[in-house]
Amino acid sequence: MTEEILNKVYEPDKVEEKWAVFWEKERLFHAAPESTRPPYAMVIPPPNITGSLHLGHALNNTLQDILARWRRMSGDNVLWLPGTDHAGIATQNVVERQLAKEGIDRHTLGREAFIQRVWKWKETSGGTIVKQLKRLGASCDWERERFTMDEGLSRAVREVFVRLYEEGLIYRAERLINWCPRCRTALSDIEVEHEESRGKLYYIDYPLAEEPDQRITVATTRPETMLGDTAVAVHPEDERHRGRIGKKLRLPLADVEIPIIADPAVDRAFGTGAVKVTPAHDFNDEAMGKRHGLPFENIMTPDGKIAETPRTRTFSGKTISEARSAVTQALEQLGLLRKVEDHTHAVGKCYRCKTAVEPFLSTQWFVRVNDPKNSLAGSAIEAVRKKKIRLLPESWENNYYGWMENIQDWCVSRQIWWGHQIPAWYCVGRDVGQCGIDCKEPIVARARPEKCPRCGSADLRQDPDVLDTWFSSALWPFSTLGWPSELQPTPEKRKEAEAMLKTFYPTSALVTSFDILFFWVARMIMMGLHFMKEVPFRDVYIHALVRDAEGQKMSKSKGNVIDPLEIMSKYGTDALRFTLASMASPGRDIKLAEERIEGYRNFANKLWNAARFIMMSLPEESERATGGAGTLSIADRWIQSRLHRTIGSVNQSLGNYRFDEASALLYQFIWHEFCDWYLELIKVDLQDGSEAQKRGTAATLTTAFETLLRLLHPFMPFITEELWAHFPHPGENLAVAPYPQADAGKLDAASEGIVREIIIDAVAAIRNLRGEMNIPPSEELGLSISVDRDQGRELFERNLPYIKRLARVSHLEIGVGLAAPKMAATVLTGAAKIYIQLDETRLNKEIDRLEKGLAKLEKEMEPVEKKFSDPLFLSKAPKEVVAKLDLQRGEMREKKYKMNNDLQRFRGMIDSK
C-alpha cells in the first residue's frame, strides 16, 4: 500500500487534465441507443460559440454533470448531449467588430464572403467553450457534439419552418416590431430589456385647425415622433375635451391636419388627458391606429434616423436624440412647448447591444403561437398543468403561466446574415407573374425551387433574412437526436436517428437558469409537443443566477466578474464544483465569495490527507490477503451504519435535485464523522486490537473509504478518481463504478447509540471541561466515571481505550454510583457522571464557571417550567410533545441540582481552608 507516497497537499493541476483526457479517450460517456439499461437523457443548454466559460455555465454544467454521473453510476444509460449555439446576432457582432478593426464592413465583403468569414472564425475560436466544459469535467457524450448550424440541424430547421408555414402557423406580415437601429434587425419581444430611466415629459400645444388660438396640450416622452402623429386621442367621457372630438388639429412642424379622436384606452388622469397618436412608432398607438383606421406615417430609417418625408423637412437625417432636441427647440420658438417635467419610465434596450429599441414598421415572419385551432402556447400550458412537465422549483409555474397566457406572436425573422436563411423565395422583379398571380407571395420550400410554381419564372431570389437564433434552439431536444430521421442522408444514419429518438426522447431532465425560461424552455415545449407529439423533457430544474459577493450581477463593465478558469487553477475544479453544488439552493441567487471556494479546497485536501493516512495505516497487500475476514470493532460497525445512512440521504437529495443538501451531507459525513471520529477511533483499534480485529478494521476502512469515493465522485470527479486509482477497488474506473446504494443490513442503531452516548459524549464533555479550565492537552487527566447500572459500567469499560486516547486521560476509575472525590468537578453526559480531579486554583475557576452556568441554565429553564404550570398546555398538547419536554425538564433539573451541589461543595472547601 505504501508503494506511492502522496504529497501532503493535494495539487489539482497535476491530476485534472489527465483524467479529463482519459475519460474521453476511453469513451466512458458514450451512450448507445440499443442498450437495455433504462435511458436517462439530458441536452446541454448550448452555450454560444462566442462564449467563454463564465460562472453561470460552470454552475449549470456542474449540476448537469452531477446528475449525469450519478445516474450513470446508478446504472442508467446516460446520454448527455453537448453542443453549441450559433448565436446569430452575438456572433455576427463579434466578427463585425473584428472586420471593423481591419477597416472593412460586412457590406463591402458581401454576404457569401462574410458568412465564410464567420465559419472561419468559428473554426478557430468557437471551440473555446467546449474545451472549457471538458476541463470542468462535464461527462458529455462528446462524440455526439452538435452545432445549431450543422447540416442535420439546419435540415430540421427548414423542415419545421415549411411544415409550420403549411399549417398556417407561420406567416409574413407588416406590423410594428421591436427594431434595434444598431443591429439593424427586428427583435422578438423578449429580446428587449426594459430599463428604468430618467427622462422628461414634454407638454406640447397643438392648435385647432379652424380656431388657431384654441389649443390642445398633449404630453409625451418622445416629442420627435410627433412628426409621425396621425391623430390626438382623448377619453370619450372626458369633460375637458368632449366638444372637440372630431375636430381637426394642425400638427406643428409637420404642417398637416390630424383629427381628434375618442378612445377609452386614454387615461384621463395622465398628463392632460390628451395623447398624441403615432401609429408607426408606438405599440399603443399602433393598436389605436388600427381601431380607428388611422394612416401609419413612418418617419424613421432602419438605422434610426429621421427619414425624408414631406412631414420631416429640416429634421430628416438627424438621429433620434438630435431630432428630439431640434424638435423641442423649434416648438419652443413657436411658443408651443408649454412645459417640461422630469419623468421616469421604462425604455426598451436591445439585449445584445443595449441600444434603445425603436418600435418600427416592417414586414417580418411570425410564428402564430395561439392559433385557436392549433395553439402552440395552449398545448405548452396544458403540458405543465397536467404535470407532463415538472418545473422545479414549482414556484416558477405561475411565472410560466402568466407569460404563456399573454404571449404574442413570435417574430422570427432577423435582418442579419449569420443564421438559418429563411427557406422562402420570391420571383424577382415581378409583382404579378405571367399567370396573373400575385408573385409577391413567397414560395416556401425545403430547397430552392427551380421555378416559380405560379408563374414559371426561374428568376427566384431567396428571402435575405435569417431566423431568430432561438428558432433553432427550440428544436434542440429532438433535432440533436437526428430528427427528422426520414431525411437522414443514408440508411445507416436513418436507423441510428430512429433509435436515438426512440430511446432518448423525451429527455429526462433539463437544467437551466431562469433567464432563458421563456427564450428557450417555453419554445422547446411548444415545438416538442407540436412535432414530436410529446413533451421534450420531464423535469425542468431551474437554478439561480450567480452573483458576486455583493449580490451584483457579474458583468464585464462592472469588473466584478469571477473567472471560473482562474478559480479552477487556483483552487481546483473539484473545489469550484463543490462550492456551486453546495450553494444551489432552490429559488435563491448565489452570491459567490472566494472564501467559500477556499473552504471546499480545504475539504478536498482533507480528503486527500485522509487517504494518505489510510494508505499508511493499512497493512501490506500480502498481509491483508491472509488470515480470513476478521472481526469488526464498535467503530467499524458505527461508521458502516453512518455511511449507509448517508448513502440513503444523498441518493434521496439527488432525486429531489437538492444538490445543496447532498453536498452538505457529504461534507458533514466525510469531515466530521469519518475523519474527526472514525479515523481517530481506529487508531486505537489498529494499534491495540487483536489480529482478527485489525484485519476487520482494515477491511472496513478500505471498503468505507472506497464507497465514500464513489459517493462523492459526481461532485468531485477528479480527486476521487485519482484516489480511487490508489486503492483496492472492484471494476476499472470510478466514473463508471456503481453508485453506492443504502443497505439496510449495514444499519446498526445499537452501535450508533454506543459511539454517540458512551464515547463521543464523554470525550466531548471531558474536552469541554479541559478547555473551560485551561488544562493544557499535554497534561494528562485523572478521572472517575460513575454510572447508574452495571450495564453502563460494562459499556464504558469496553470502550475505555477510545476515551482515554481521545480525551487524553491517564488514569481512570469506573464504578456504579461512585461518590464524588473531594476536589472534583462533575460533568454530566446522558450515560454517566464524570468526575475530574481539581486543584485549588482550578477550584476557584470552576466556582466562577458554575455560577455563570447556573445563571444561564435558570434562564433557559424558565420558559419550560412555565409551560408545565399551564393547564392548557398539559391538556391540549400532544402526549409525545409533553413527554419530550418533560424529559428535557428532568435533565435540566438534574443538571441544575448537580451544579448547585458542586458549587456548594467547592465553596465549602474554599471556606474551610
Partner RNA sequence: GGGCGAUUAGCUCAGUGGUAGAGCGCUUCCUUCACACGGAAGAGGUCGCUGGUUCAAUCCCAGCAUCGCCUACCA
> Among residue numbers 215 through 234, which ones bind RNA (CB under 7 A)?
219-222
Residue 760's nearest CA partner among 849, 666, 824, 830 is 830
CB 798 within 8 A of CB 790: no
Task: Pick out residues in 139-158 that bind RNA (CB under 7 A).
Answer: none
Q: Whole-number minimum distance, CB 677 to RNA, in Å?
A: 8
Query: What are the distances in angstroms from CA 306 to CA 179, 228, 273, 325, 558?
Result: 14, 10, 28, 13, 34
Gap between the Cα atoms of 215 and 213, Å rounded: 6
Gap between the Cα atoms of 691 and 51, Å rounded: 60
User: What cell was used for 645?
Assistant: 445512512
User: What cell was used for 718?
Assistant: 477528479
Work out whether 271 is an interface residue with RNA (CB under 7 A): yes
Q: Choose which of 333, 557, 778, 912 interacts with RNA (CB under 7 A).
A: 778
Q: Which stretch binds RNA (CB under 7 A): 98-106, 629-637, 782-790, 882-890?
A: 882-890
User: What cell was used for 706?
Assistant: 472506497
The binding track of 528-567 with respect to RNA, each residue x by CB under 7 A or -, is: ---------------------x-x-x--------------
Work out whether 885 is an interface residue with RNA (CB under 7 A): yes
Work out whether 712 is an interface residue with RNA (CB under 7 A): no
Give whichever of 68 and 803 is closer to RNA, judged by the CB atom: 803
Amino acid of residue 247: K
Task: Give the DSSP letter string of 442-459.
Answer: -EE-SS--SS-TTT----
Work out whether 284 is an interface residue with RNA (CB under 7 A): yes
Work out whether 601 is an interface residue with RNA (CB under 7 A): yes
Give whichever of 23 and 677 is closer to RNA, judged by the CB atom: 677
Residues 6+ apart with CB under 8 A from 592: 55, 546, 547, 548, 549, 562, 579, 583
Q: What are phi and psi of 59, to 5 degrees?
A: -65, -50
Q: Whole-number minimum distance, CB 767 to RNA, in Å?
A: 4
How many CB atoms sit inside 10 A of residue 830's CB?
12
CB 82 within 8 A of CB 138: yes
Task: Give the DSSP letter string of 156-200.
Answer: HHHHHHHHHHHTT-EEEEEEEEEEETTTTEEE-GGGEEEEEEEEE
Work out whether 872 is an interface residue with RNA (CB under 7 A): yes
Residue 138's nearest CA partner among 731, 717, 734 is 717
Q: Whole-number minimum distance, CB 864 to RNA, in Å?
A: 6
Work out whether 593 is an interface residue with RNA (CB under 7 A): yes
Q: Choose which of 119, 121, 283, 727 interacts with RNA (CB under 7 A).
A: 283
User: What cell was used for 679?
Assistant: 479515523
Pairing of strands 507-513, 537-543: parallel
Work out whether 596 is an interface residue with RNA (CB under 7 A): yes
Task: Pick out residues in 793-812 that bind RNA (CB under 7 A).
Answer: 808
Provide the CB-side half-sphere exposure for 805 (13 A, CA). Answer: 14
Q: Choose which of 179, 476, 518, 669 interacts with RNA (CB under 7 A).
A: 518
Gap between the Cα atoms of 696 and 691, Å rounded: 9
Q: Where are the alpha helices (DSSP H) in 15-73?
A: 16-25, 55-73
Give whichever of 220 and 508 is closer to RNA, judged by the CB atom: 220
Work out whether 349 is an interface residue with RNA (CB under 7 A): no
Give whichever of 159 and 761 is closer to RNA, judged by the CB atom: 761
Work out whether 816 is an interface residue with RNA (CB under 7 A): no
- Tell the burial category of 362 from Cβ atoms under 10 Å away from its Cβ (0-12, 13-18, 19+): middle
Q: Whole-number minimum distance, CB 40 to RNA, in Å?
A: 25
The binding track of 616-635 with respect to RNA, each residue x by CB under 7 A or -, is: x-------------------
Q: Which stretch binds RNA (CB under 7 A): 54-62, 413-421, 423-431, 775-783?
A: 775-783
Task: Pick out residues in 250-269 that bind RNA (CB under 7 A).
Answer: 265-269
Q: Which stretch binds RNA (CB under 7 A): 490-498, 597-605, 713-721, 899-907?
A: 597-605
Residue 781's nearest CA partner among 798, 795, 762, 754 is 762
Gap between the Cα atoms of 181 and 730, Å rounded: 63
Work out whether 239 is an interface residue with RNA (CB under 7 A): no
Task: Pick out residues in 673-702 that bind RNA (CB under 7 A).
Answer: 675-676, 679-680
Q: What are phi and psi of 371, to 5 degrees?
A: -60, 130
Work out whether 599 is an interface residue with RNA (CB under 7 A): yes
Q: Whole-number minimum distance, CB 134 to RNA, in Å?
A: 24
Give whichever of 494 and 849 is closer to RNA, judged by the CB atom: 849
DSSP label of 421: B
How many CB atoms sit inside 10 A of residue 706's CB?
20
Q: Which stretch binds RNA (CB under 7 A): 187-195, 426-434, 719-727, 751-759?
A: 187-195
CB 611 within 8 A of CB 589: no
Q: Choose which of 876, 911, 912, 913 interacts with RNA (CB under 7 A).
A: 876
Task: Pick out residues in 818-857 that bind RNA (CB under 7 A).
Answer: none
Q: Whole-number minimum distance, CB 836 to RNA, in Å?
A: 14
Task: Give the DSSP letter string of 779-803.
Answer: SPEEEEEEESSHHHHHHHHHTHHHH
Q: Which stretch binds RNA (CB under 7 A): 163-171, 439-447, 592-600, 700-708?
A: 592-600
Work out whether 612 is an interface residue with RNA (CB under 7 A): yes
Task: Pick out residues in 317-346 that bind RNA (CB under 7 A).
Answer: 345-346
DSSP label of 549: T
Give whichever of 23 and 396 is closer to RNA, judged by the CB atom: 396
Q: Which stretch binds RNA (CB under 7 A): 25-33, 49-57, 885-893, 904-912?
A: 885-893
Work out whether 527 is an interface residue with RNA (CB under 7 A): no
Q: Which stretch binds RNA (CB under 7 A): 450-458, 488-496, 502-510, 870-878?
A: 870-878
Q: Whole-number minimum distance, CB 592 to RNA, in Å?
A: 8
How many CB atoms sit inside 10 A of residue 524's CB?
26
Q: Choose which of 27, 120, 385, 672 interacts with RNA (CB under 7 A).
A: 672
Give whichever of 732 and 860 is closer to RNA, judged by the CB atom: 860
Amino acid of residue 518: F
Torsion (CA) 210, 216, 220, 225 in degrees, nearest 10: 0
Residues that contact RNA, how many (by CB under 7 A)? 97
Give whichever of 429 and 878 is closer to RNA, judged by the CB atom: 878
Q: Whole-number minimum distance, CB 609 to RNA, in Å?
A: 3
User: What cell was used for 361?
Assistant: 414598421
Work out whether 609 is an interface residue with RNA (CB under 7 A): yes
Query: What are the distances in angstroms from CA 676 to CA 591, 606, 672, 806?
Result: 30, 10, 5, 11
Give whichever of 269 and 447 is closer to RNA, judged by the CB atom: 269
Work out whether 242 is an interface residue with RNA (CB under 7 A): no
Q: Whole-number minimum distance, CB 682 to RNA, in Å?
A: 10
Q: Choose which of 256, 330, 823, 892 interacts with RNA (CB under 7 A).
A: 892
Task: Pick out residues in 632-671 that bind RNA (CB under 7 A).
Answer: 660-661, 664, 667-668, 671
Task: Pick out residues in 403-422 that bind RNA (CB under 7 A).
Answer: 403, 406
CB 684 within 8 A of CB 804: no
Task: Pick out residues in 850-869 that bind RNA (CB under 7 A).
Answer: 860, 863-864
CB 460 within 8 A of CB 428: yes
Work out whether 883 is an interface residue with RNA (CB under 7 A): no
The binding track of 366-405 with respect to RNA, each residue x by CB under 7 A or -, is: -----------------------------x--xx--xx--
Give whichever of 98 and 585 is closer to RNA, judged by the CB atom: 585
